A = this chain, B = another copy of it.
Amino acid sequence: MKTATLLRINRDRLQQRLSALATIGRLPEGGVRRTAYSDEDLAARQWVTTAMQAAGMTVTLDAAGNLIGRYGGTEALPALATGSHIDTVPAGGRYDGALGVLAGIEAVATLHESGLRLRHPIEVIAFTDEEGEMIGSKAMAGTAKLTDPEHFRRLDGETIQACLQRVGGNWEALATAQRTEAAIAAYLELHVEQGGVLESEQCQIGVVQGIVSLQRFQVTITGRPNHAGTTPMHLRQDALYAASLLVAAVHDVAVEIPGDQVATVGLLNVLPNAANIVPGQVHLTIDMRDLSLETLSTMVTVLKQRIDEIMSSTSTQIELRPQHFVEPTLASPAVQAAIATVCDDLNLTHYSMPSRAIHDAQEIGRFTQMGMIFVPSQAGVSHAEDEYTSPEQCGQGADVLLNTLIALDAQLATGRHD
């Protein structure tokens, strides 16, 4: 039994910090608006810097504006990193991102006030603009398009150069933010699930198997706009009727193939969109996610067959254009095993699952071994002001984070010494 070696974080202090950070950008309904590079983001960065320093860390900023708190180790080893982000969507909640950063600080604070140091240094990182272009984790992974600042231009027209400058970064020096496995031996991220799986499975901790691949398509369906009264049914080329068959096909293809892949039509616009006109054109998006590229490929193949049938039966044209593709990132089996063992030791139930949301771990996992710990989201709600994870659940997640860092410290250091 390892239970004697288990540490516990200070749940009250973690809650106090979650509450304090949530005052920066607080919305009337209890949510948070703290979009990247905003004044609220700047204020939160200052607040987090102070909290990191209070936990015994030295704080630096890299060229991507990533805020890095470092707690030294006892040996000359690469760091064990943890973290997440403190920016939010325009009307987000208190836990998405913030929990991962504050639990990392709390883990270090627990070590610090116990007078403990691990063999590896620990880094707690608040990544820049996770809810936007993820330039923080991409710069660190070397996957940011350094030659294309336009790629990172924001919707309000601001340049990435100006944005980075505001948070203390430097676009011209972005390449210097890149890290390797020689600098970060492993990365662990605690995050709210943002879905309803853990609640549905009645499990306390999610052990993430990997972050799914995302394939997104833009679809244009072209029929012929016409009078909704005078055009007989058999003479119609109704783009919305065709779209409705496609939306149903996207749903069906996700549920018919074995596995727990997901597919969504989230955006759909009709032209001309008037009650008395047969729709002439529809634009929609298809978003498909799974850990397995083979499954995604099968879904696309089946969908293309259905599209051919729909075009033929509705006399419309359907054009499917790839818009976005993200490679899957698998979590390290060793890190997954370490998380599961710690859960068992803490008497916490756990469930292995993919992450179908994107996280900074997706990019960091491209150059070093990665693992993620999920805690439940009440009713699966996220990116919303009423996002909620209980103090107990937050504390359980932070305990798993701290003790997994300790376990990895022992395993990885041992591995090197063998």
Q: Per-position contact with B for A223-261: 1 when CB-CB < 8 Å, else 0? A: 001111111111100101101111110010011000010
A233 is contacted by which of B214, B231, B233, B262 (Cβ under 8 Å)? B262
* Complex CA–CA separation, A240 to B250 (angstroms): 11
Q: Per-position contact with B for A270-299: 1 when CB-CB < 8 Å, else 0? A: 100111111100000101010000000000
Q: Per-position contact with B for A213-228: 1 when CB-CB < 8 Å, else 0? A: 0101000000001111
Residue from the set A254, A265, A279, A289 with the largest chain B CB neighbour count within 10 Å = A265
A275 is contacted by which of B216, B275, B384 (Cβ under 8 Å)? B216
Q: Given that A244-B243, A278-B266 are known contacts, is A287 also in contact with B228, CB under 8 Å in the complex?
A: yes
Name the interface size band of chain A.
35 or more
* Complex CA–CA separation, A107 to B245 (angstroms): 50
On whether the beta carbons of A262 and B231 are closer than 8 Å, the reply is: yes
Residue from the set A260, A264, A265 with the largest chain B CB neighbour count within 10 Å = A264
On whether the beta carbons of B241 and A251 are closer than 8 Å, the reply is: yes
Q: Is A183 an interface residue (CB 8 A)?
A: no
Q: Is A303 an interface residue (CB 8 A)?
A: no
Residue of B nearest to A211 (CB): B229
Q: Is A357 an interface residue (CB 8 A)?
A: yes
Contacts of A228 in B (CB 8 A): 262, 264, 266, 287, 289
Residue of B nearest to A231 (CB): B195
Contacts of A277 in B (CB 8 A): 266, 383
